Amino acid sequence: MNIIEGLLTPFAGRFAIVASRFNQLIVDRLIEGAEDAFTRHGIADDQLDLIWVPGAFELPFIAKKLAESQKYAAVICLGCVIKGETDHYDYVCSQAAGGIASVAIETGIPVIFGVLTCDTLEQAQNRAGGKAGNKGSDSALAAIELVSLLNQLGGK
């Protein structure tokens, strides 16, 4: 059996990080985690572009523009939605997740879902560099791995 899997090796292309300003204290930590993971795996700072959007709901729209530009090997979407007292949380999380997934499918560019969807601020802090690691770092690693896998499969 021939096994094909992505590698965490440096890549010469560009990566975009689209970040939500809403809950920015948490998102800043996710960005730091992503930057650290990229650096540790040989991706230089000048290969990264950071684009800010107002909230998680707007992530898919800008991610699609970036993916369609063909300037990026992968796009990472980082955000944080914390459950409140209304249904707003459910709508935002659902639309962000579905939108981000559809951008990847429609464009053929890896678009990574790095949006924390938490019940509490403490849960978000734990996933942004606390007890549960840093999901920004995990998102950067997923992007690097998917780019490597696409290259092996003869993709973009």
- Catalytic residue ranges: 88
Virtual torsion, Cα 58, 26, 149, 11, nearest 10 deg: 100
Angstrom distance (rounded) from CA 138 to CA 134: 7
H or E element that contains 68: helix 59-68
> DSSP letter string over 26-67?
HHHHHHHHHHHHHHHTT--GGGEEEEEESSGGGHHHHHHHHH
